[in-house]
């Protein structure tokens, strides 16, 4: 597959998930209109949709039906979107810019932003419990438990809590890693596994995909730290240099930029090695690994 | 059944749900300890557990296994607890007292309270997706969709949004009713239906239970408004008279206390009429209707 081919695959699937999110979110005219307008504002028209793309790539590997993967991809993106809305609130990161637009609580108000996040989380589970998502209801229940665990206090929300406590503290590398494995890694892992679960995959295959996803999730965060340290706010579409300003530990502050980039490369190599047994079926996931790691450098 | 018998049934099932919530919440030593401590603080040791009791009563009607109903009851109580934590936040109702204790964000901090609510919601869906909850995975998926809809933007969170917008406005009775049907009614309805779904029940029976639950849910809110207007903070365990202070429309402000009490009584009668076809199997639900409506007057 050429790079051009991957570019058009990305664009086609970004359009597909955008359209599916448009449909699954309540229409702006449905009561209560302000809340529904704010939900659409927070989710639509922005973001690279990395998690949905990972689900699609993984679904291609397991021969999954596109409509099924789309529902699972909506679920992970809704969880991601809810976490951004809540993370941006004044009591958390207190950020005013996201995806090049005012954050949800700035455009609306804090109370609405709180309810937007709460409602997006409910909607994610509603999507994943849709009768058309899997031919096997038992597998589907496993998928719901996976997303709940990845989102909750031992997953994403837990990572966020550790992040809050770490502000102004010096973390060692293993602690920083443990925080990021929860904060961003678990949902990326869920995206890959849920995509594959929409098709046919055995336990050994799931184990390899899980290894791939863990590495790529961590690489994603290392790259994020490098971008945050080296990019401008205009390029990022969110406030740049915020972590160092907030005195938060990052891979760059712990290792320096050069070593952080090296670490991202090593994680990338490790991720690719986990795909070795799949042959050509995993080519999209390999391209996604490039996409995640090479974003800007 | 005597009243004494009902009292001991309530106490036994309150103890059962308390113990199940203790077990399903992450232990305080598990990382991140502060978040897990705050989740336990917000959920354990308080509240009448009305929603779990409704699920148990409904489960008795459908001959449900007690362990299964307990999981469903945990799920609805976790959703209820998350909504209280978020509703008490400064950007919402800004309340400092709940169940006789400082609210979660007062005892901990706002960011932690936000993550507590988020994590309790995830845990609720994790509980409902538990492999042991139902013998039929398809029914279980239906139950998950029901809880998601009852919690989300067209249910509880949507009612909260309408409530926010109504502060300082004059609502007509139908608008007030529509708000409360979402804000508290949908979750009470879900509690009754989920309890019954843990056992054997046909569609006609579910329809009758749903009618019962809609009336009792609304009655619950009317009684709440009367209590808020007439009780002291010490009796309620939360700040009394808050609605009128916040200039929020209530059944008491719209109808006056006497007519509000009459309305609660009519809703109670209507609820009981929906149970007529069940015979003795519905006795616990009848007692629960008394419990909900007669709380203090």
Compute CA B275 distance to the chain's CA centroid, rounded to the nearest angstrom.
20
User: Regarding the domain delimited by A3-293, which CATH topology (the fold level of the hierarchy) does it fall under?
Assistant: Farnesyl Diphosphate Synthase (1.10.600)
Residue with tokens 């790691």: A293
CB contact under 8 A, B30 and A154: yes
Residue with token string 């490098």: A226
Using CA coordinates, name the residue in chain A closest to B39: A153
- Residue among A114, A129, A158 whose CB faces B91 most closely: A114
The answer to whether A82 touches A2, Cβ cutoff 8 Å, is: no
pLDDT at B135 (0 to 100): 81
pLDDT of residue B294: 79
pLDDT at position B99 over 90: no
Taking the C-alpha atoms of residue B84 and residue B81, their distance in angstroms, rounded to an integer, is 5
Contact A32 B130 (CB under 8 A): no
Residue B32: cis peptide before it, omega within 30 degrees of 0:
yes
| Tens-digit pLDDT profile for residues A206-246 | 999 999 999 999 999 999 899 888 876 656 666 666 666 66
Q: Above 0.90 for ipTM, yes or no?
A: yes
Among A23, A42, A34, CA closest to A80: A42
Q: How many beta-carbon contacts under 8 Å exist across A and B? A: 162
The pLDDT value recorded for residue A297 is 43
pLDDT at B240: 63
**pLDDT average, residue stretch B135-149:** 95
State whether residue B273 is helix, strand or coil: helix
Q: Which residues contact residue B136 at a Cβ distance below 8 angstroms, ignoring those fewer than 6 apart? A: none
Residue B297: per-residue pLDDT: 43
Alpha-carbon distance values, B267 to A27, A250, B260 (Å)? 33, 58, 11
* Tokens of residue A35, six digits: 């809340």
Nearest to A137 among B125, B138, B152 (CB): B138
Cα–Cα distance, B142 to A115 (Å, whole number):
24
Asked whether the beta carbons of residue A152 and residue B123 sit closer than 8 angstroms, the reply is yes
Q: Assess whether pLDDT exceeds 90 at residue A40.
A: yes
Q: Report how far residue A217's alpha carbon sits from residue B208's, in angstroms, rounded to the nearest whole number.
A: 49
The larger pLDDT score, comparing residue B40 to residue A166, is at B40
Residue B45: which region, alpha, beta or left (left: phi > 0; alpha: psi -120 to 50)?
Answer: left
pLDDT, one tens digit per residue, over B82-95 is 999 999 999 999 99
Residues in chain A: 297
- For A100-152, what is each residue's pLDDT tens digit? 899 999 999 999 999 999 999 999 999 999 988 888 999 999 999 999 999 99
| Chain B residues with CB-CB distance to A32 below 8 A | 153, 158, 161-162, 165
pLDDT band at A294 (very low <50, low <70, confident <90, very high): confident
- Mean pLDDT, rounded, for B218-241: 78
Query: How far apart (Å, rounded) are the C-alpha atoms in residues A76 and B71?
Result: 25
Angle, alpha carbons B85-B87-B93 (nearest 5°): 130
Packing angle, helices B137-151 and A137-151, rounded to 10: 40
SS3 of B171, please?
Answer: coil
Do the beta carbons of residue A58 and residue A196 sit within 8 Å? yes
Q: Interior CA angle at A125 toward B207 and A20, to 5°?
A: 105
Segment A69-83 mean pLDDT: 98
CB-nearest partner of A141 from B91, B140, B157: B140
Q: pLDDT digit string (tens) for B161-176? A: 999 888 778 888 888 9
Please give the angle made by the CA atoms of B212, B213 and B218, to the nearest 5 degrees: 105
What b/e sequence results for A134-148 when a residue is b if at least 16 CB atoms lie within 10 Å of its CB, and e otherwise? beebeebbbbbbbbb
Domain boundaries, chain B: 3-293
Name the minimum distance, in Å, from the CA of B119 to any CA of chain A: 5
How far apart (Å, rounded) are the C-alpha atoms in residues B297 and B284? Answer: 20
The torsion angles phi and psi of B237, rounded to 5 degrees, stand at 80, 5
Averaged confidence pLDDT in chain B: 92
CB within 8 Å: A164 and B130: no
Q: Is the pLDDT of residue B37 over 80?
A: yes
Nearest CA in chain A to B141: A129
């Amino acid at each position: 597959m050429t790079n051009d081919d991957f570019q058009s695959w990305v664009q086609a699937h970004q359009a597909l998930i955008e359209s599916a999110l448009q449909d699954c979110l309540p229409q702006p005219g449905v009561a209560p209109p302000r809340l529904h307008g704010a939900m659409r504002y927070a989710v639509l028209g922005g973001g690279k949709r990395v998690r949905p793309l990972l689900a699609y790539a993984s679904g291609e590997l397991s021969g999954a039906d596109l409509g099924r993967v789309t529902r699972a991809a909506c679920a992970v993106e809704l969880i991601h979107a809810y976490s951004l809305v809540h993370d941006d609130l004044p009591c958390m990161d207190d950020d005013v810019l996201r995806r090049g637009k005012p954050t949800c609580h700035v455009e609306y108000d804090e109370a609405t932003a709180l309810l937007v996040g709460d409602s997006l989380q409910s909607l994610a589970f509603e999507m994943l419990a849709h009768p058309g998502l899997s031919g096997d209801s038992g597998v589907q229940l496993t998928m719901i438990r996976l997303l709940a665990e990845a989102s909750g206090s031992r997953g994403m929300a837990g990572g966020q809590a550790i992040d809050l406590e770490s502000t102004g503290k010096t973390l060692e590398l293993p602690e920083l890693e443990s925080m990021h494995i929860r904060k961003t890694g678990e949902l990326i892992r869920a995206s890959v596994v849920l995509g594959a679960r929409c098709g046919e995959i055995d336990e050994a295959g799931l184990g390899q995909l899980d290894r791939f996803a863990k590495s790529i999730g961590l690489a994603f965060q290392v790259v994020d730290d490098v971008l945050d340290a080296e990019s401008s706010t205009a390029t990022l579409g969110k406030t740049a240099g915020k972590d160092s300003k907030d005195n938060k530990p990052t891979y760059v502050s712990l290792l320096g930029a050069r070593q952080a980039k090296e670490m991202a490369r090593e994680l990338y190599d490790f991720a690719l090695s986990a795909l070795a047994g799949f042959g050509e079926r995993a080519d999209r996931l390999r391209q996604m690994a490039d996409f995640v790691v090479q974003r800007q450098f």
